[in-house]
Each structure stands twice: as C-alpha cells, then as structure tokens.
Amino acid sequence: MDINSRPLGRRDFLRGSLAAAALAATGSLAACATSGTGTTSQSSAPAGQVSDTNPFGVKSPSTVDAVIFNGGYGIDYAEFGGKQVEAKQQGVTVKVTPTTKVAQTLQPRFVAGNPPDVIDNSGAGLIGINTIRDQLAELNDVVEAKNYEGTVIKDTLYPGVMNPGTFDGKFIVLNYALTVYALWYSASLFDQMGWTVPKTYDEMLSLGQEAKGKGKYLLGWGKEAATYYQTMAIGSAIKEGGDEVRLALENLKPDCWSLPPIQDVFNGLKKIIDAGYVKPGGSGTQFTAAQAQWSDAEQFILYPSGGWIENEMKKQTKSGFKMTGAPEPTVSSNSKMPWEALHSTAGEGYIVPSQGKNVAGGKEFLRAMLSKDAAVNFAKTKLSSTIVKGTVPADGFGSTALQSQIKMLEAAGSNIFSWNFVDLYGMNTDQLVVWNSFLSGDSDVAKLTKGLQDITDKVAKDDSIKKVQVS
Amino acid sequence: VTALSSGGLTTGVASPGGVSSSGGLRRFGSARWRRRNLTFDKISFFLVFLVIPVAFYIAFVVSPFVQAAYFSLTDWTGFTPAMNFIGLSNYAKLFTDATFLQAMANNILMAIVVPIVTLGLAMFFATLVTVGGSTRGNIRGLRNSSFYRVISFFPYVIPAIVIGLIWSQIYDPSAGLLNGILTRLGLEQFTSFAWLGNPHTARWAVMFVIIWGLVGFYMVLFIAAIKGVPAEVFEAARIDGAGRFRTAISITIPLIRENVQTAFIYIGILALDAFVYMAALEPGGGPDNTTLVMAQELFNTAFTKGQFGYACAMGVVLAVITLAYAGLVFAVNRIFGGKSEVGE
C-alpha cells in the first residue's frame, strides 16, 4: 500500500488541519453574525371570532403555552385557571409548564422569537422587565374585558394594583397576587406578654428592651433576605416624608438616600442594632432557617416581610402562633401619611409576549385567572389574596395572617403605595451585601447610605440601562 | 470543509490503490497537492481523524468562544434578536466596575491560596502514605496507609454542590455543628458567630471547604505519581542520609514535577471558577462581597440585570485570566528547570 511506502508526514497532516480549520472558521464566523438573530416570527393573527364570550378572539382549536414560576405558590392554581379556559373556550387547550428559573429557561425562546403565550415572571430568577418590556403586549384589553361572571374586570380589582405593572404609561405586567408588606408577630405571644405592636422606631426600641428581659431578641434576619429591612425602611420613610421620598428613590436622584426621613429611619434601626436587640449571626444564616427562629423557636419577635410569609413558613410555625401583620412603623407620630398607610403591591407578574403564537390565548388565560372561580381558588388554597376584591371571607379561611391583611387593606383605604426601582434595575443582589453588614453591626448609617447611594448612582449613570420615569 | 473532503473523497473512491495525481486533485490547482499521493487510506484517515473532530471542535468549542467574544462588543440584553455594536465600551466599563474588580481580586487570591494549600497538603499526605513510613527495611508508607488513602478520597466522591450544602449547615451560626462544638468547649465568643457572614472569616471559610473537598483527589494523584518512581531512588537517598523532608523536597517533587504542574493548572482553573461552591455557600457574594467570584457576577449580570453583552465581556476577561494563569504556571516550572514540553 502506498501509505506504507510513503508515510503520512506530520507536516502534511498539520497543513491539512490548518486548511480545514481556516475553511470552517470563516464559515462559522459568517454564521455567527446571524446565529443570534433568529427569525422574528410574526405573531399569527387571531383567526377566532371576537365576541362577548371570546373578547380576544381565541382561535379554536389552539393551544395556549403557559410557563409558570414554580415557587411558593406552586403551579396548581394556574392549572386550575387553565381548566377554566378549556371549559369556556371549546377546542382550546392550555399547556402549563412549571419552571423555577424563568430567565434561564426562556432566554433562548425570546431570542429565537418563539416565547410562550403567557408567563408568570416571578422568583429569584425572573426576567428583568426592563430587558424585555418592548416585547410585551399591552394588557389594557384584559382588564377592560368582562370576566366569566359578566363584570368588567377592572371594577373587581383592588385600587392601584395596575400601577406596579405600568411602565412609561404602558400596562404590560399583570401582577396577580396581592402582597401586603408588614411587620409580622405572634398575636398569642404578644397577648401573653402584654406587649403592644410598636408604631414608631422609638417604641420598637423600648419593646426591644422588654423582649430582652424575657430572653428574646426583637428582630432577626437571614442572609438572602437582609433587604426585607430595606423594604421596611423605605416603607417607613415614605410614610414619614410622603411621595417626594418615593419619587426621589424611584427616579434614582442623586443623594436620595440622604433625605431626612430615610436617615431618621436608618438611625432608628441603628439604635436597635447597637442596643443588641437584633439576633446576631443573620448574615451567615439561611433565610428560612432565620425565619424559623422567629415562627417556630420564637427567639425573636418581630419580622418584616411580605404576606407570603405564612405560606412559606407553614410547616415551621409553632402551633397557636397566630401570625398577624401590622403596618410598618413610622418615625414620628406626625408623619405625612398615617401609620395605617400600607406598602402593598401585587406580585407574580404575568406577562404576554407580543411575539407569542397565541397572544389572544394568553390573554384569555389571564381573563380566566381574574374570574371568580380561579381567584377564590387561589385565595383558599394559598391563603393569600389575589388582586380581585372580595375573594376572602371574614374568617380568612381560618388564617389569622390573611384576616389581618384584609383588615390592614381596609384601614389603609387609599393610602397605599409601592415602588419598583429595586426589582426594575436588578439592585437587590448588590443591596443585600450592604444590608447584611449594617444589620450585623459591622457598618454604620453613613456606610449604609453611601453603599446604597453608590448602587443607585451606578445605575443612574449607566447609559446602557433604560430608565423608567416615575411621577 | 465540504469542498476539500468531498473532492478528496471522490478521488479516493474512484481510484483506490494509490494513483498519485488523478483528475479530482487537479481542482486544487496547487503543485504541492498534486505531488502528494492522496490515497483512499490517507483521505479517509484525514477525514475520520482530522476533519470530523476539527469540525466538531469548531462548531461546539471555537464558535461559541468567537460568538461570546463578539457579543462582548455589543449591548445585547440577551432577550432580543437585535443588538448594537458598541466597540470596547463594555471593557472600559468593566475596569471601572468596583464590584467586578473586587470579584477579580477575590478570584486571584483564591487562585493563589487554594492551589498552594491543597497541593501542599496533598503532597504531604501522599509522601506519608508512600515513602514516609519506617526508616528501616523497604521503602514504604505509614502503617494502614491504604486506609488513610481511601478515607481521604471520600470528600472527592461527594458532588461539589453537596459539599457546599453540607458545610453551609455546619457553619450555621445558631444551629451549626462548628459553633456547637466551639461553644461546648467553652469558647462563648462563638455563640451565633457567622463564619460565612463576617467579612474577616467568610473567604477563609469558603476556601477551607474547597480545600477540604479536593485534597483527597490530589493526594491520590500524587500517590500514583510517586509509585511510578523506582524505589531504588528513595533507597539511594536514604543511604546518603536524606531525611523524610529532604527526600520530599529533593527527590519526590523534582521527579513528579509534571504531575505537580498539571495539578496546579487543574486546581487553579477550579479556583478561578468556584461557582458551584459559592452558589451553595455564599449565593449573594458574601459579606462586603468578600467571597464574590467573577462567575457569580457574570451570571448575575446576564440573568438578573439582563446585560448579556457586558456579561460576555466578563467571560472574556475570565478566560484571559485563566490562560494567563496557565501560562504563569508553565513559566514558573520552566524557570525552576523543568522541561516545558508537557504531555510528551
């Protein structure tokens, strides 16, 4: 054989490989420019007939592709909603897919122009709304449509629940679960000890002393949830200083963290930390473990959190705990907003990508979720209210936490506020670091302020980040 | 690729048996090609051992690299098909980004400490187990050395993420094993001490976990290398009066130099990544970002901040640092007299 008489030289081999590599490399370079740019699929026009019972004209038969965050609320409530759609719209099937990492799972589908029809964009791995807001369908027609009972959806919702989903005047995120932020405590423990809920930071400080006398700490935290204290601090500062505080933070104003109401709150917290009323070690404790120190071991007595806390700690709550919420404290008794004012927003942000194959189907799914059966089902099984009013009976399905949420909402009336900048610009991760050191007593108010201001300034100065103007 | 291979194949199939210059080859037009005897054997060898692997390599390794490098020059958000070319401004931003620079510094510290401590310990144990035994009779390790060998390999069998989760429980301030033992010993200052939450201890605590998990593996690697050294060498050294330490420094390490170098590169790359350990131990970057690593910052920038272009720039910098690290290890080895040709 020829190969024996003339061995394949190493140089020949290498030369061949170079030629092959050069050829292939140019090919892939050319491909590279286009590989990221998937075809922009044109959303198929709804072929279904638009009618009162089918306001968005869902095609039949068709499939609705729903991707639901599988977190604290699970996905069974969404499957329930899907069944409602299937019952109302003949021939339409709803495919509910759970995911725990929304951004990672769906990023390739967005790039390829093939996103799902409706997404529950929630959890730690959510897609920053700022990144995709140009690719979302406006949802005004959903809230203007009639629900399955024949009432216009808009009239059935709690006030202000559309605000957190509105960006530059466009309503693109339907936040489904109503969340009340509060200071949570055990009503039974407080009754037994004769304590009252503190309404200001000074009252909190003196309660801290009483608790210490009983061998308990006042507050505690977990490392992934240190910014719950930021949420409480901002809430307190907005009540104290009114809307101007909120707007300064939302619009990333220079020195916004140095506004007097915010500083007063920070100083109030610092006094509590310095007095040793905060359970140490939080910056090294996993947050649900820290929360169990409150709800199960009762090592500390107050915990700022959202209304999901009851569901989250269901299995780690002492029996007879009577979890109850109170509005976040103010600085002084003559704050601009009353103590009853409430930081409440809606979570579980549902979005409908405008490039989805079945946009009308996605909207129909939301319509079903906002109708009575699905909303009541959510409240009952998750012990948490949706944005739909009147789905929770007075006994709160036996939950003291849910009862207190509804009571707080009633007491607050129209004094309900919320903000978006932390999630909108993805600041939480950076802020956690600053708060962990503040709560563990390693830093002071000046360091905290500077740390938070640096994070704000970094976003404000970065031209590549689109800003949302809030007024 | 297709032109070369299909042209070549036709030739090979049409004229098996080694025709030196057939019509198919003339298409290449080069005299050099014509002179070569491109037989079926040669062509099929080229194809199977060269073209296909190279094509795979380019499609699945090189092209993503090139693509990432290109994305690093754009403002791609990661969720749109469209992106704008913005030149080097991502890199300019990167080198003024205090958080990223801190992550880089953390990684570099880890790439220095973790390999030295891990490999130092691994070498120490490997020596004990193989040649550190009784100085009488045959060269051998300590008594029951095979038992120690198995025990020390255990941590490596556990996946990194599990190691991270186990240790995050051990380090728990209030309910963790470590503080439990320390307070039981009467060290009251460790009550609720947050090992992973204190800026002075966090980075050492996580490095300890990484080292704990890897010592066993590198120990086994070194044992295998030392076993490859003829026992006579050690006996000769002993006759010349060398003690255990002198033997390790002057005989063992120079003789297994290439293994040490390879180990350094592997563990250095791991220390420059460290994502898995950090995801379990310090998902938020640790107190004052003292344990934040570049891979975490990259992930966070890409997926929570929606800045894939910027994240790609971080990836490119991470790749460059990794290559520089490997280059440094080679250079150090060469300076100290090693042959540079590794793998031959």
Per residue in B130-157, pLDDT (tens digit) is 887 777 777 777 777 788 888 888 888 8
pTM score, whole prediction: 0.75
Q: What is the pLDDT of residue B28?
A: 52
Question: Which of B50-59, B135-144, B234-243 ranks highest by mean pLDDT?
Answer: B50-59
Question: What residues contact A351, with CB distance under 8 A and at least 6 apart?
Answer: A118, A119, A121, A129, A132, A136, A172, A173, A174
DSSP string, B235-300: HHHHHTT--HHHHIIIIIHHHTHHHHHHHHHHHHHHHHH-HHHHHHH-TT--GGGTT--HHHHHHI
Rounded-to-integer distance, Cα A35 and Cα A342, Å: 49
Residue B24 has pLDDT above 80, yes or no: no
A468 inside 8 A of chain B by CB: no
Please answer yes or no on whether B304 and A440 come within 8 Å at the CB atom: no
Residue A145 has pLDDT above 50, yes or no: yes
**Looking at chain B, which residue has its C-alpha nearest residue A278?**
B192
End-to-end CA gap in chain A: 84
Q: Where are the beta strands (DSSP E) in A7-130?
A: 62-69, 92-99, 118-121
Q: What is the mean pLDDT of chain A?
A: 86
Q: What is the pLDDT of residue B35?
A: 55
Residues A5-15 have a mean pLDDT of: 47
SS3 A157: strand
The region of weakest confidence among A169-178, A240-249, B250-259, B333-342 is: B333-342
* Partner residue facing B283 (CB), from A20, A224, A464: A224
For residue B342, name the pLDDT band (cuts at 50, 70, 90): very low
| Interface-testing mutation among A1, A26, A111, A114, with chain B (most B C-beta atoms within 10 A) | A111
Q: What is the pLDDT of residue A69?
A: 93
Judged by phi (left if over 0) then psi (alpha if -120 to 50, else beta), residue A91 lies in: left
Q: Where are the beta strands (DSSP E) in A366-452?
A: 416-417
Residue A72 DSSP label: T
- Residue A337, both tokens: 């907003």
Q: What's the length of chain B?
A: 344
Classify residue B29 as exposed, middle or buried by CB count within 10 Å of its CB (0-12, 13-18, 19+). exposed
Question: Which of A452-461, B22-31, B180-189 ranks highest by mean pLDDT?
Answer: A452-461
pLDDT digits (tens, 9 = 90+) for A421-462: 998 888 888 899 899 989 999 889 999 999 999 999 999 998
A102 close to A127: Cβ distance less than 8 angstroms: yes
A285 inside 8 A of chain B by CB: yes
Q: What is the pLDDT of residue A24?
A: 39
Which of B31, B27, B35 lies closest to B9 in space, CA to CA? B27
Rounded-to-integer distance, Cα B248 and Cα B242, Å: 9
B325 close to B261: Cβ distance less than 8 angstroms: no
Alpha-carbon separation of residue A83 from A93, A94, A231, A410, B83 (angstroms): 8, 7, 36, 32, 39
Phi, psi values for residue A317, rounded to 5°: -115, 130
- Residue A340, both tokens: 């009853």
Residue B10 has pLDDT above 80, yes or no: no
Å from B187 to nearest chain A CA?
Answer: 16
Residue A360 has pLDDT above 90, yes or no: yes
End-to-end CA gap in chain B: 30
pLDDT digits (tens, 9 = 90+) for A52-98: 788 898 888 899 999 999 987 889 999 999 999 999 888 899 999 99
- Residue A126, both tokens: 């959510």
User: What is the Cβ-side half-sphere exposure of residue A159, based on CA atoms within 13 angstroms?
Assistant: 10
Query: Cis ω on the peptide bond leading into residue A61 (within 30° of 0)?
Result: yes
Residue B119 has pLDDT above 80, yes or no: yes
pLDDT digits (tens, 9 = 90+) for B62-96: 999 999 999 999 988 888 888 889 989 999 999 99
Judged by phi (left if over 0) then psi (alpha if -120 to 50, else beta), residue A18 lies in: alpha
Q: Which residue has the higher pLDDT, A74 or A292?
A: A292
Rounded-to-integer distance, Cα A55 and Cα A142, Å: 9
Please answer yes or no on whether B99 and A430 come within 8 Å at the CB atom: yes
For residue B242, name the pLDDT band (cuts at 50, 70, 90): confident
Q: What is the pLDDT of residue A33?
A: 34
What residues form DSSP beta bridges with A174?
A350
B175 inside 8 A of chain A by CB: yes
Residue with tokens 């936040």: A175
Percent residues over pLDDT 70 in chain A: 90
Chain centroid offset of residue A181 CA = 12
- Residue A442, both tokens: 């390693």
pLDDT digits (tens, 9 = 90+) for A297-338: 999 999 999 988 888 888 899 999 999 999 999 998 889 999
B77 inside 8 A of chain A by CB: yes
Residue B4 has pLDDT above 60, yes or no: no
For residue A273, name the pLDDT band (cuts at 50, 70, 90): very high
Rounded-to-integer distance, Cα A433 and Cα A447, Å: 12
- Residue A354, both tokens: 């405008």
Please answer yes or no on whether A28 and B62 come within 8 Å at the CB atom: yes
For residue B30, name the pLDDT band (cuts at 50, 70, 90): low
Q: Which residue has the higher pLDDT, B231 or A353?
A: A353
Residue A47 has pLDDT above 90, yes or no: no
Å from B342 to nearest chain A CA?
Answer: 19
**Looking at chain A, which residue has its C-alpha nearest residue B200?**
A442
Residues B114-131 have a mean pLDDT of: 91
Please answer yes or no on whether A1 and B306 come within 8 Å at the CB atom: no
**Looking at chain A, which residue has its C-alpha nearest residue B192?**
A281
Residue A220 has pLDDT above 90, yes or no: yes
Q: What is the pLDDT of residue B278?
A: 92
